[in-house]
Amino acid sequence: MTKNATILFVDDEKRVLRSLKALFKPHYNVHITTDGHEALEIVKNNTVHVIVSDQRMPAMTGVELLREIKQVSPATMRLLLTGYADLPAIIDSVNDGEIFRYINKPWDNEDILNRVKKAAQVGLELAVNIPSPITKTSSEKQELEILVVDDDIDTYNAVQEIVGQKYTVKRGETLKSAFDILSQGKVMVIISEIHIADEDMSLSLKLMKQYHPDIISIVLTDFKDVQSLIELINQGQIFRFLPKPIRKPLLENSINAAIQRYLAAQQRPELLIRHSVEEPKPNSMISGIMTYLNKIKPFQKKLIH
């Protein structure tokens, strides 16, 4: 029941906060502030299940605030609310803030209510499921695989150089070959280009997260479409979005973080509720991709949709 959830709204425009408070007060415990530093103090001193922050604020941007919130209260679900199609900020919100949803201004009341409701459901569950230390052995780790989905061999070589002998790295040059590897059931991390062999991987990544939330996705591309990235956040819960050309230190940090996230979820499957996604819009390609997905061993943990 989300009535007991506490939501914090942060925006430098008081009229926006008044509107949000009026909309959400009947359903939640609501805090509002125009100041990011005050928001941090609220989170430190209260159990806050969801924070919804504007991006463009004078003292502290939304991404900077959500990055700090992730450190002081990792169970708090983080949503970015903004009226600006600012690609660098959206990328940072994924990589630094690990946001749950992106919401456009001006918002649709039904849309924002539904997204915050999902976040509140997840936040309430995560509040009682704090991650525990990872205790996997090296022999168990070596059985796991990283899948590179890219028709550019340089991406595979970079990942192989970073990973070394610790994990098996496999490469899919087409959608079919990628799903053939996934059907073997050992993949923990996908590192994927958006477009490979004239095929769009976006829908596959979205559906993969819906049916197999345990697999962690990193997008590595020179593709810079804001709307596509927003959809990959809301419908695919991508873990990192990295630009090409490849920067190996950034890629290495992202791979290590993804592996840690995967291993933590293997020990505590209830944490995968954090990866609940919105269903992608109907698309003529869905049935074809589902044919591939049905070949993969189904993930049993039921998430909130």
Query: Using one digit for the tens of pLDDT, what is the confidence trace for 142-196?
Result: 588 999 999 999 999 999 999 998 999 999 999 899 999 999 888 999 999 999 8
- pLDDT the model gives residue 301: 47
- Domains of the chain by start residue, with CATH: 2-126 (3.40.50.2300), 138-293 (3.40.50.2300)
Give the three-state DSSP class for 36.
helix
Model confidence at 51, pLDDT cuts 50, 70, 90, reads very high
pLDDT in tens, 100-145: 999 999 999 999 999 999 999 999 999 886 655 555 544 444 588 9
**Nearest alpha-carbon partner for 92 in 130, 70, 64:** 64
Strand order of the β-sheet with 216-221 is 168-172, 145-149, 187-192, 216-221, 240-243
192 backbone dihedrals φ, ψ, rounded to 5° = -130, 140
pLDDT of 2 reads 65
Look up residue 98 and give its DSSP letter: -
- The SS3 of residue 241 is strand
- For position 199, what pLDDT does the model report? 87
* Entry pTM: 0.91
